[in-house]
Amino acid sequence: MTEDILTTVMAFIYTLGHWLGEMIVGSIQSISGITIPPTIVDAIGLLLILTIFLAIAEVAKKAIWIIVAVGWVLIILRIAILMMG
């Protein structure tokens, strides 16, 4: 059962990558007029998926640091208020 889920997820990622790769290659070909070999369509699409994933991870990492920093500020503020009164 685990192999079936993994196969399904990998097939979905590959299909999505192929679709995105076709869109990018089609756009580049229509803009520039050059012919891009179909052998790199999948590579372009999968690289785009990886780039999107890394961008999302980087944004999430920054958001987590902001949340942690705000949490520390609130804790320190709470302690300061308790010390004053």
Instruction: Using the structure block, give the residue that is written with the tokens 């999430």.
Output: 60
Rg of the chain in Å (alpha carbons): 23
Q: What does the block give as tokens for 74?
A: 């609130």
Exposure of 39 by Cβ count < 10 A (0-12 exposed, 13-18 middle, 19+ buried)?
A: exposed
pLDDT-based confidence at residue 15 (cuts at 50, 70, 90): very high
Distance between CA atoms of 45 and 23, rounded to whole angstroms? 9
Q: Is the pTM above the cut of 0.85?
A: no
Residue 73, pLDDT > 90, answer yes
Residue 2, pLDDT > 80, answer no
How does pLDDT run across 44-67, given as a tens digit for each residue?
999 999 999 999 999 999 999 999
pLDDT-based confidence at residue 1 (cuts at 50, 70, 90): low
